[in-house]
A = this chain, B = another copy of it.
Amino acid sequence: MPLRFAEPATEAYRFPLTIRHLLDSALTTAGDRRIVYRDQGSWTYREFAARVGRLASLLEGVGAEQGMTVAVMDWDSHRYLEAYFAIPMMGAVLQTVNVRLPPPQVAYTLNHAHAEILLVHRDFFPLVDAILPSLPGIKAVIAIMDGAEGELPPYAKGEYEALSAAASPDYPFEDFDENALATTFYTTGTTGNPKGVCFTHRQLVLHTLTCNAPFGTQEGTGFGYSDVYMPLTPMFHVHAWGVPYVATMLGMTQVYPGRYEPEMLCRLRTEHKVTYSHCVPTILRMVLDAADATGADVSGWTLTIGGSALSAQLCEEGRRRGMRLIAGYGMSETAPLVAVARIRPGTEGDEAAEIEALTATVPAPMVSARIVDEDMNDVAHDGRARGELVLRAPWLTPCYTGDAKASETLWRGGWMHTQDIATIDPDGYIRIRDRLKDVIKTGGEWIDSIQLEELVATAESVAEAAVVAVPDAKWGERPLAVVVPKPGAAPTLDELNAPVEKAIGAGAITRYAKLERFEIVDALPRTSVGKIDKKLIRANLAEMAKEVTAA
């Protein structure tokens, strides 16, 4: 028999999962709640909804229409939140421009996304001055003066607030296909041009509904409608982890801090009693230093930490200050929610157990997470076996825009490949161990380079260490340590292997991890964001090998 379907009443409402509907209940239940922007003002949800209508009207006035890309270059603001809603709600596509990229790459992403309208904060006028000649597709630029006096750039059609005030709040938003694109932005690859990811209305609504689900437990590892939210991950970066949509759907009080200035962040946190934020460890460090300098109280603040691993040390430091730090895992390709930390039931209050659990993450509802070997066979969920983490969820990017080859690689075998090497334990806790390209495959076993270099770095004479794979005729690959000695020290292989052998003895790492080779260097090469550049290390070693062969 075929599947059965309902025969809906003629007038039965077909509810599309479009972004406008995230506002439905918030406007009933939180009409008087406020959205704050720095020390410059605040607006109720009712006013916010009117401003969303005004933004759509003003964009229509400068030529925006369905299917068009409208790009935003702004700091975290109530305006950005307006753009999060108004642009997709019109059926246009919001491009959140990564303003930290080098100018030619910013221009590349705008051209690649076919951006036709640009909203630009005055801090980025110099950037736009520089790249506008190479942006033939841009038809209109709206200047955001952000309260400052001064002349608009000659290419601006007008100023955001002035145009908004003159525009109608009653834009006739309509329902449309929930599979229409809503947002796009570009990942920062280490090589080549940035790659574009894109998300549909349906995906973002499902992401928003689900984001809330794994949080909000009674152990206080999440947030709810009575929390006060301030993002500390830029809104151009993966929808500020999707939380502005969740916060708005729930009608939470929200605080947008503009450009991240540590003292301002501390001030806003104190003044508005912010209880929930999210950020990468670097920003947290910056905030903690500012809090120490100004004496600001950070207790009672819950933060989801992502981007890099949340270390047990940082987690402990947060506890000492009365904060709750919780790991989150995701990436640009995943909207980004994949997994969040949670306390193991029954271990509440046990500090060691809580830290262990809060520095790992479990898959969110509707997320299917596997760890697989190179042939996509499942690897055991025993907390030790390593595999590439591959995913299914209703909100993963369907492609890299206009890059069919990269898209097919991303989705090889019907699962989205994270290129992260992970373990999963029997309770579903995922720990990211390495990047796929850095893992060392030797004798059928995977050694994660990070674990091995952490061991090597504990040797007395070592200041810093990196471990990379080098080709090996017998074993496929073998690990090689690149070591920066402490001043005056001269590491030996035995000394480097001592902590490795101890770990092998304890069953913490495979016996194949024992080193046969190492190189001494003055310093480790690093990427522009400060990570050890293993790619360059491998290239340098290959070059050395060639020289050796040639000699």
Assess whether A440 is interfacial by the CB under 8 Å rule: no
Q: Digit string of A492-525 for contact with B (CB within 8 Å is 1, else 0)?
A: 0000000000000000000000000000000000
Q: Does A152 contact B (CB under 8 A)?
A: no
Q: Is A179 positioned at the interface, with any CB of B under 8 Å from its CB?
A: yes
Interface code A284-298, partner B: CB below 8 Å = 1, 0 otherwise? 000000000000000
Q: Are B5 and A181 in contact (CB under 8 A)?
A: yes
Q: Is the CB of A24 within 8 A of B368?
A: yes
Q: Is A269 an interface residue (CB 8 A)?
A: no
Q: Is A364 an interface residue (CB 8 A)?
A: yes
Contact of A363 among B28, B91, B217, B394 (CB under 8 A): B28
Interface size on A, residues (CB 8 A): 94
- Whether A362 contacts B181 by the Cβ 8 Å rule is no
Complex A-B: 18 CB contacts under 8 Å = A3-B176, A6-B397, A7-B399, A10-B408, A11-B408, A11-B412, A12-B411, A15-B396, A24-B363, A24-B368, A24-B392, A25-B428, A28-B368, A29-B363, A216-B216, A216-B218, A218-B227, A226-B345
Most buried by B among A32, A215, A216, A218: A218
Main secondary structure of the interface of A (DSSP, over half): loop
Instruction: Indicate with 1 or 0, residue by residue over A220-236, a CB within 8 angstroms of chain B CB atoms.
Output: 10101111000000000
Please tell me if A55 contacts chain B, counting CB pairs below 8 Å. no
- Contact assessment for A414 and B213 in the assembled complex, using a CB-CB cutoff below 8 Å: no
Among B200, B346, B365, B369, point to the contact of A249 (Cβ < 8 A): B365
Q: Hey, which chain B residues are within 8 Å of A392, CB to CB?
A: 13, 15, 24
Contact A3 B177 (CB under 8 A): yes
**Contact pick for A4, options B67, B249, B364, CB 8 Å:** B67
A11 to B205, CA, bound (A): 23
With CB as the reference atom, state the residue of chain B lying closest to A199: B6
Q: Told that A29-B427, A217-B224 touch, could you supply 18 new A-B pairs with CB distance under 8 A?
A: A1-B66, A3-B67, A3-B180, A4-B181, A7-B399, A13-B392, A13-B396, A15-B394, A24-B367, A25-B364, A31-B428, A205-B366, A209-B365, A213-B250, A216-B222, A226-B343, A226-B348, A249-B366
The answer to whether B399 touches A25, judged by C-beta atoms less than 8 angstroms apart, is no
A9 touches which of B29, B67, B216, B407 (Cβ 8 Å): B407
- Compute how far the CA of A9 lies from the CA of B206 in the bound complex, rounded to whole angstroms: 20
Contact A198 B413 (CB under 8 A): no
Report chain B residues within 8 Å CB of A404: 7, 9
Q: Which of B66, B206, B225, B366 contacts A24 (CB 8 A)?
A: B366
Would you give the 0/1 interface string for A345-356, flagging 1 where the beta carbon is closer than 8 Å to chain B?
110100000000
Which residues in chain A, 376-411, are within 8 Å of chain B measured between CB atoms? 381, 392-394, 396-399, 401, 404, 407-408, 410-411
Residues of B within 8 A of A416 (CB): 12-13
